[in-house]
Structure formats: C-alpha cells, structure tokens
C-alpha cells in the first residue's frame, strides 16, 4: 500500500497509540466526578490542555476539547456570531464544508455572508478582505492552510486588520496545527483536529479567546465549562497531545514535493499551487487535462496507491472541488482536480512510484 492521502487522515502514530492505551487503562474516571479517580483523570486532561495551548501559542483557558474539527468550527462560528449585534460575516469560498454549514445556519438567522474567492495563487488576499469589511461586519473566518491545494492564507495580516476594527477573527487550523508554527496568528478563535497529525479520530479542540464573551450553542451543559456537552474522551485527548509533539519535517516534505515535480517535468500534468512562500509542501493539487480526477484516483487505487479527489468531507460532491472553483475554474475543469498529500512516513521511493503511475495515466489520457 502506498498512501498519499494524509490531508484526509493520517495513520495513528505509535507513540500516540501507546499513550491512548495507557490512558484508557490507567485513567478510567470521568473528569467531572469529584472522587479521586475522577480527579486523576481531570489532572491528566488539564495537562493535555496546557500542552495543546502551548503548541498553538494560545492561553490554556481558551482551549475546549471537541469531537472533531468540524464540531470546533461550528461551535466557534455560531458562538461568536450570535453574541454580536452586527450581522455581517466575511469568509472564503474555499473554506471547509463545516464552515459553510455554519454560514448557512447563520444566514437563515438573518446574517449577511460575503464569500471571497481565491486569486491565481490560491489565496484570499488581504486587500479583498479589507474591501469587504463594512460597518456591520462582526466576524471574519479564513482558513490557515487550504486542505485541497495546501496554500497558506495570510491570516496573520487578516487578524491585524480585524483587530484594528474590533472585528472577531476565526481561522480553521485543522490542516496546520502540529505542522507549521501558529504562534503569530493572534486569532480570537482557532480550530484543531487530532487525526490530521497522527492522533485518534473523533477528537479535536477549539480555541475561543477568554477575552471575548461566548454564547454556548447548547446552553445548560456542564462539560468543558458549558461550551461542549458530553463526557470528554480522556484517552483520545492524551493521544492527541502526544501526536502534536512531533511534526513532519517541512524540509523533508519540500524534498518530496520537488522530487515529484522533477519526475513529472515535461508531462501534461498541471500543478495547482501557490508561490513557495505561501505553500505548504505536504499538500498538492493537480489536474490531468482530459481526464476526471475521479478516474485518476480509481486508476491509482487499482495499483494500491491511495490519493483523493479533494477533501474527504466533499467526496460525494459532483460539482468539483471548492478551491478549484474559487480560483475561477469551470465545473468541467474542476472535475479534473485530484489531490496528493504526504506525511512523515512518505518515502522518496514511494514518490517515484507515484510519479510513474501518474505519467502512465497522463499518457493514456492523451491517447483518448
């Protein structure tokens, strides 16, 4: 098996799995229980909260554990937006499905939503955000790393512009947490996920600035200070914190990316990417003219090579990928899109085999 779909999910790291098993065996109490076993579990939970906050460069008091990045995005956006009198929100056309879901809910509640496109380099520009701001803007939500083409959005500058105007800023860091530094973001809300970095599925976290007032989506709940209901999964959170300690080497990912580009040089395969300065090397968007991305995926699947046609959350979409469409591609062009993504275990020999398989598929497309 050759796995090139780390942006969808990463295999669980051995260290994280070991911690999960140990925590499940030794910390069985409910963190909200007042007895000694509950206290032991609660102490472990708070240690993990401290570790996640430190890695994200945020205050521990703002970290709330969730069941996924999707849940974190929805909780952050609904909680913040509903607590403001203003009714205008700015986001991107290529945001994760969970962000669009929250926007649909808020639009039904009377909010006006502005969705900004990506430019030819795959980013939402600071200028377009500034131009969209109006006197009624309450919230801006722009992802950190696009999950389909890996472009890094200028969220540091957007956060500065938002702060100048007293506008709340949320950024989806599901694809960036544990991979690139986050300490300079200065966002009011950030979202993280465990399984993108070798932790367990069904576990994530959201940061909500303790300096901002928050209205819980489901009032009256007890866990996580009322922000999120349900007994927390202490073993999963412990494994999440462990997985976050070791990131894939960016230097290695750049080496793999450059190797693939070298092997594909001169072919018809089109790269959809930004400049090196605003590109995460582990995620690669591509098109082979004349063949749908779904067919590319199936051809490689037959060789036990696993890629994606985009975000796994959009696998049933028939309208192409959001990033491709946000960059101005037609639906027909966007349907040719597919995504490769590398991780810590990806090797150069695997990338060479991948390149050979892609060249074979591209050659067949030319013959059709």
For the stretch 251-290, pLDDT in tens is 999 999 999 999 999 999 999 999 999 999 999 999 999 9
What CATH number does residue 331 fall under?
Answer: 3.90.1150.10
The whole-number pLDDT of residue 314 equals 57
Q: How confident is the model at residue 318 (pLDDT cuts 50, 70, 90)?
A: very low
Q: Which of 22-26, 111-115, 179-183, 353-357 has the lowest mean pLDDT?
A: 179-183
Q: What is the dihedral of CA 222, 111, 83, 163, to 10 degrees?
A: 120
> Do 233 and 255 fall into the same domain?
no
Q: Which residues contact 201 (CB under 8 A, 6 or more apart)?
A: 9, 194, 195
Tell me which of 189, 208, 243 is where a domain ends: 243
Per the rule left: phi > 0, alpha: psi between -120 and 50, beta: everything else, 289 is beta
Tell me which of 243, 267, 299 is where a domain ends: 243
> Do 82 and 224 fall into the same domain?
yes
Over residues 286-305, mean pLDDT: 96
> Do 127 and 50 fall into the same domain?
yes
> Do 28 and 109 fall into the same domain?
yes
Angle of helix 250-264 versus helix 348-367 axis, rounded to 10: 30
Q: How confident is the model at residue 313 (pLDDT cuts 50, 70, 90)?
A: low
Over residues 14-42, mean pLDDT: 95
% of the chain with per-residue pLDDT over 70: 96
pLDDT in tens, 54-73: 999 999 999 999 999 999 99
The whole-number pLDDT of residue 248 equals 80
> Do 103 and 53 fall into the same domain?
yes
> Do 277 and 195 fall into the same domain?
no
Tell me which of 210, 243, 276 is where a domain ends: 243
Q: How confident is the model at residue 312 (pLDDT cuts 50, 70, 90)?
A: low
Beta bridge partners of 91: 115, 141
| Residue 316 clears pLDDT 70, i.e. is over it | no
Kindly report the pTM of this predicted structure: 0.94
> Do 85 and 160 fall into the same domain?
yes
To the query of whether residue 48 is one of the catalytic residues in this protein, the response is no
| Residue 320 clears pLDDT 70, i.e. is over it | no
- 3-state DSSP of 23-86: HHHHCCCCCCCCCHHHHHHHHHHHHHHHHHHHHHCCCHHHEEEECCHHHHHHHHHHHHHCCCCC
The whole-number pLDDT of residue 45 equals 97
What CATH number does residue 109 fall under?
Answer: 3.40.640.10
Asked if 278 contacts 142 with a C-beta cutoff of 8 angstroms, the reply is no
- Residue 332, token pair as written in the block: 């027909």
- Residue 119, token pair as written in the block: 């430019």
| Residue 82 clears pLDDT 90, i.e. is over it | yes
Over residues 34-39, mean pLDDT: 93
> Do 158 and 259 fall into the same domain?
no
Structural domain including 67 reads: 14-243
| Residue 186 clears pLDDT 80, i.e. is over it | yes
> Do 282 and 355 fall into the same domain?
yes
Q: Where are the beta strands (DSSP E) in 71-188?
A: 88-92, 112-116, 137-141, 168-172
Of 107, 179, 117, the C-alpha closest to 142 is 117
Residue of 26, 48, 287, 313 with catalytic role: 313
Of 357, 226, 362, the C-alpha closest to 304 is 357
| Residue 5 clears pLDDT 50, i.e. is over it | yes
Q: How confident is the model at residue 326 (pLDDT cuts 50, 70, 90)?
A: very high
Residue reference for tokens 């969970």: 98
The whole-number pLDDT of residue 319 equals 41
> Do 236 and 254 fall into the same domain?
no
pLDDT in tens, 122-137: 999 999 999 999 999 9
> Do 190 and 256 fall into the same domain?
no
> Do 121 and 185 fall into the same domain?
yes
| Residue 244 clears pLDDT 50, i.e. is over it | yes
CA angle 251, 274, 99 (to 5 degrees): 100
The whole-number pLDDT of residue 183 equals 87
User: What mean pLDDT is reported for the chain?
Assistant: 94
Residue reference for tokens 């959001």: 322
Q: What share of the chain is helix, strand, coil (3-state, %, to 5)?
A: 40, 15, 40
Q: How many domains does the chain have?
A: 2
| Residue 199 clears pLDDT 90, i.e. is over it | yes
């Amino acid at each position: 098996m050759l796995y090139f779909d780390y942006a969808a999910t990463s295999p669980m790291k051995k260290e994280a799995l070991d911690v999960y098993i140990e925590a499940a065996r030794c910390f069985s109490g409910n963190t909200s229980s007042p007895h000694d076993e509950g206290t032991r579990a609660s102490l472990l939970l708070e240690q993990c909260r401290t570790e996640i906050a430190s890695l994200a460069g945020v205050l521990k008091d703002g970290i709330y554990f969730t069941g996924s990045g999707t849940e974190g995005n929805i909780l952050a956006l609904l909680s913040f937006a509903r607590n403001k009198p203003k009714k205008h929100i700015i986001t991107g056309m290529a945001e994760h499905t969970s962000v669009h879901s929250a926007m649909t809910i808020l639009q039904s509640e009377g909010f006006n939503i502005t969705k900004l496109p990506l430019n030819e380099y795959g980013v939402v520009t600071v200028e377009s955000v500034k131009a969209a701001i109006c006197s009624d803007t309450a919230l801006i939500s722009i992802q950190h790393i696009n999950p389909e083409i890996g472009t890094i959005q200028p969220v540091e500058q957007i956060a500065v512009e938002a702060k100048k105007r007293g506008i709340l800023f949320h950024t989806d860091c599901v694809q960036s947490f544990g991979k690139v530094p986050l300490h300079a973001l200065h966002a009011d809300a950030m979202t993280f996920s465990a399984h993108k970095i070798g932790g367990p599925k069904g576990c994530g976290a959201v940061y909500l600035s303790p300096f901002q007032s928050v209205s819980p989506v489901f009032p009256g709940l007890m866990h996580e200070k009322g922000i999120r209901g349900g007994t927390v999964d202490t073993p999963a959170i412990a494994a999440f914190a462990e997985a976050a300690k070791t990131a894939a080497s960016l230097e290695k990912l750049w080496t793999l990316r450059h190797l693939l580009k070298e092997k594909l040089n001169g072919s018809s395969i089109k790269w959809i990417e930004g400049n090196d300065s605003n590109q995460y090397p582990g995620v690669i968007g591509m098109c082979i003219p004349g063949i749908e991305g779904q067919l590319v995926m199936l051809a490689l699947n037959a060789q036990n090579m696993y890629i994606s046609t985009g975000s796994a959350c959009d696998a049933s979409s028939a309208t192409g990928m959001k990033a491709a469409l946000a960059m101005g591609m037609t639906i027909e062009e966007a349907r040719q899109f597919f995504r490769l993504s590398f991780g810590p275990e990806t090797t150069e020999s695997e990338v060479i085999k991948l390149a050979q398989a892609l060249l074979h598929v591209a050659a067949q497309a030319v013959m059709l």
